[in-house]
């Protein structure tokens, strides 16, 4: 199978499974990935999901150009007609729980755009990152020109985008593209540990934070702060918030129920 999925307790793990092709995304993988996001979005037991890939050479190098042909539809049909061409990020927006990306090897082109669409990224010391489309007369077509500046800042993003430079793991960490680096052998154990820490927290609070951050990025600061205050009010009397305060007072671990 070109994609593997398993769930243990409250954490799901998606593994791109085409190491022989640098985990490039072919049409079959694209469909499987979209269906997997939909499945995850409908599973109430999950509290975090990890996206990773098999092998050590690459996390993902984008679309498999050997198996991906240009769309048959004209520009007008693609723009105004019924949506028929699958997109790399289809289904990700349905997932309301945090998505953690564990990156080993190359995350290039659409592979980096897939990682950028996740909420949190950790990487092994051998990881490399780039959006080199400009070098072949194209542009990043999976929101790379928009997400990269929001994550690493305008100057760093413009340098990567306009030169097509491939950066190593230490530089990715320096600019904030990844939160932290680990040894190659420790990547998945660290990813699972982080996911379990997220999953142990109050699920409504976790989902609310994800939503606030995503929506607040497109708001003026004062509006975003007002939105935050509104969500805080919604959660104020929730079972889990009261449980969290009681557990703190009683010096015990809280039992969150997502209500």
- Out of 113, 186, 243, 250, the active site residue is 113
- Out of 83, 133, 184, 257, the active site residue is 133
Alpha-carbon distance of 65 to 30, in angstroms, equals 13
Distance in Å from the first CA to the final CA of the chain: 37
C-beta of residue 88 within 8 angstroms of C-beta of residue 50:
no
Q: Is 20 a catalytic residue?
A: no
C-beta of residue 151 within 8 angstroms of C-beta of residue 116:
yes
Question: Whose structure tokens read 């109050």?
Answer: 202
Residue 126: closest CA among 157, 163, 172, 165? 172
Q: Is 250 a catalytic residue?
A: no
Alpha-carbon distance of 60 to 75, in angstroms, equals 28
Q: What positions carry a catalytic annotation? A: 113, 133
């Amino acid at each position: 199978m070109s994609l593997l999925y398993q769930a243990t307790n409250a954490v799901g793990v998606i593994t791109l499974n085409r190491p022989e092709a640098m985990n490039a995304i072919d049409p079959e993988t694209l469909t499987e990935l979209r269906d997997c996001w939909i499945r995850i979005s409908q599973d109430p037991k999950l509290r975090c999901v990890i996206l990773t890939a098999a092998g050590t050479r690459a996390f993902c190098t984008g679309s498999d150009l050997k198996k991906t042909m240009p769309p048959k539809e004209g520009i007008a049909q693609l723009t105004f007609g019924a949506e028929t061409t699958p997109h790399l990020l289809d289904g990700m927006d349905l997932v309301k729980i945090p998505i953690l990306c564990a990156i080993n090897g190359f995350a290039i082109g659409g592979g980096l755009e897939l990682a950028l669409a996740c909420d949190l990224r950790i990487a092994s010391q051998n990881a490399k990152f780039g959006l080199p489309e400009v070098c072949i007369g194209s542009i990043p077509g999976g929101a790379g020109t928009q997400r990269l500046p929001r994550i690493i800042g305008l100057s760093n993003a413009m340098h990567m985008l306009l030169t097509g430079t491939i950066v190593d793991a230490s530089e990715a960490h320096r600019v904030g593209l990844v939160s932290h680096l680990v040894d190659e052998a420790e990547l998945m154990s660290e990813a699972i540990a982080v996911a379990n820490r997220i999953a142990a927290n109050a699920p409504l609070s976790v989902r609310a934070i994800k939503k606030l951050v995503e929506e607040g990025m497109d708001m003026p600061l004062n509006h975003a702060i007002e939105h935050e205050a509104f969500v805080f009010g919604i959660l104020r009397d929730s079972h889990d918030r009261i449980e969290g305060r009681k557990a703190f007072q009683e010096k015990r671990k809280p039992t969150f129920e997502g209500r």
